[in-house]
């Protein structure tokens, strides 16, 4: 079983600029390709920044002139900023692991961490990331995003999980190219302040377990959760 080392010196006042973190990523990536280091992940916060993946359309960019960093990952445009845990796993994929399996494992780590923090989440078919189910007049809303690159068998970029981020930043652009759904945070859903450090502590063990490449049982998609509904033990009274 492999283990992953997590570097996490960049929270709060030590938040690291996106391009500085990207340079560290490139260095770690080169070292991992050469087997000079083992699997490593950077956990951090960024000062406010918008980053655009290769599939970003012009109309999805911020409409207020906010600068955007164009990056070499997949996916579309997203926001990074204070109150959001960003994770960059630099991990060598075993020969039997497909990229889609890696993505699903990172999603699963966020889903399990969110559950530990009191928020039920899941996947939505046809959409990447981690979502909270629609409720009342509120649509499905995204709480965790993924955008990765795999080069020479080693991953770069990664995931973001909204802890207590200012959601107003998402009103300036089309998040991840999805205009018919919302964006949320763990704090907004659970009704208390969930910090980035608390979120990181929740994610870390799940990410380490799932990137050890052992078999696992994925959490149900949101649609499956709705279809299953609440479970009532046999013989229990039904309260109306």
- Mark whether 176 is an active-site residue: yes
Q: Quickly state the pLDDT bin for 226 (edges 50, 70, 90).
A: low
Is residue 143 a contact partner of residue 185, using CB atoms and an 8 Å limit?
A: yes
Q: What pLDDT is attached to residue 3?
A: 87
Q: What is the pLDDT of residue 137?
A: 79
Task: Report pLDDT digits (tens) over 175-224.
Answer: 554 555 689 999 999 999 999 999 999 999 999 999 999 999 999 999 87
| Helix (H), strand (E), coil (C) string for the chain | CCCCEEEEEECHHHCCCHHHHHHHHHHHHHHHHCCCCCCEEEEECCCCEEEECCCCCHHHCCCCCCCEEECCCCCCEEEECCCEEEEEEECECCCCCCHHHHHHHHHHHHHHHHHHCCCCCEEECCEEEEEECCECCECCEEEEEEEEEEECCEEEEEEEEECCCCHHHHHHCCHHHCCCCEECCHHHHHCCCCCHHHHHHHHHHHHHHHCCCCCCCCCCCHHHHHHHCCCCCCCCCCCC
- The model's confidence at residue 237, banded by pLDDT at 50, 70 and 90, is very low
What's the pTM value of the predicted model, to 2 decimals? Answer: 0.88
C-alpha angle with apex 190: 184 to 195, nearest 5 degrees?
A: 80
Confidence of residue 174 (pLDDT cuts 50, 70, 90): low
What is residue 228's predicted lDDT score, i.e. its pLDDT? 43
Q: What's the pLDDT tens digit per position in 58-94? A: 787 877 767 788 888 877 788 899 999 999 999 999 9
Q: Which of 111, 156, 176, 210 is catalytic?
A: 176
Kindly state the tokens that stand for 121. 């989440």
Long-range contacts of residues 26-32, Cβ cutoff 8 Å, at least 24 apart: 26/156, 28/90, 29/90, 29/151, 29/154, 29/156, 32/90, 32/91, 32/92, 32/154
- Mean pLDDT for 225-237 is 41
Least confident of 9-13, 135-139, 192-196, 205-209: 135-139
For β-strands 84-90 and 154-162, DSSP reports them as antiparallel
CA distance 133 to 96: 33
**Alpha carbons 174 and 61: distance in angstroms, whole number:** 7
What is the chain's mean pLDDT, rounded?
A: 88
Residue 116 scores a pLDDT above 90: yes
Here the tokens at position 216 are 């696992």
**173 band by pLDDT with thresholds 50, 70 and 90:** low
Angstrom distance (rounded) from CA 150 to CA 93:
9
Strand order in the sheet with 49-52: 68-70, 49-52, 77-80
Instruction: Using pLDDT thresholds of 50, 70 and 90, give the confidence band for residue 170.
Output: confident
Tell which wins on pLDDT, 228 or 48.
48
pLDDT at 1 over 60: no
Asked whether the predicted pLDDT for residue 56 surpasses 70, the reply is yes
Instruction: Compute CA 75 distance to the chain's CA centroid, rounded to the nearest angstrom.
Output: 13
What proportion of the chain, given as a percentage, has pLDDT over 90? 68
């Amino acid at each position: 079983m492999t283990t992953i080392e997590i570097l996490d010196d960049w929270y709060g006042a030590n938040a690291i600029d996106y391009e500085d973190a990207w340079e560290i990523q490139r260095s770690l990536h080169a070292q991992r390709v050469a087997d000079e280091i083992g699997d490593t992940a950077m956990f951090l916060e960024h000062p406010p920044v918008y980053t655009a993946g290769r599939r970003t359309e012009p109309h999805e960019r911020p409409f207020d002139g906010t600068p955007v960093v164009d990056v070499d990952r997949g996916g579309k445009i997203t926001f990074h900023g204070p109150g959001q845990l960003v994770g960059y796993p630099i991990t060598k994929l075993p020969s039997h692991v497909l990229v889609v399996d890696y993505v699903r494992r990172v999603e699963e780590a966020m889903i399990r961490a969110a559950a530990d923090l009191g928020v039920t989440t899941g996947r939505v078919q046809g959409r990447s990331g981690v979502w909270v189910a629609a409720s009342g007049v509120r649509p499905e809303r995204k709480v965790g995003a993924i955008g990765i690159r795999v080069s020479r068998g080693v991953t770069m970029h990664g995931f973001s999980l909204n802890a207590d981020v200012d959601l107003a930043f998402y009103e300036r652009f089309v998040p991840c190219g999805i205009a018919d759904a919302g964006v949320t945070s763990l704090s907004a859903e659970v009704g208390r302040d969930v910090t980035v450090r608390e979120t990181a502590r929740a994610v870390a063990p799940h990410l380490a377990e799932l990137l050890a490449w052992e078999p696992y049982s994925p959490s149900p998609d949101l649609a499956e959760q709705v279809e299953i509904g609440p479970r009532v033990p046999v013989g229990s009274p039904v309260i109306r």
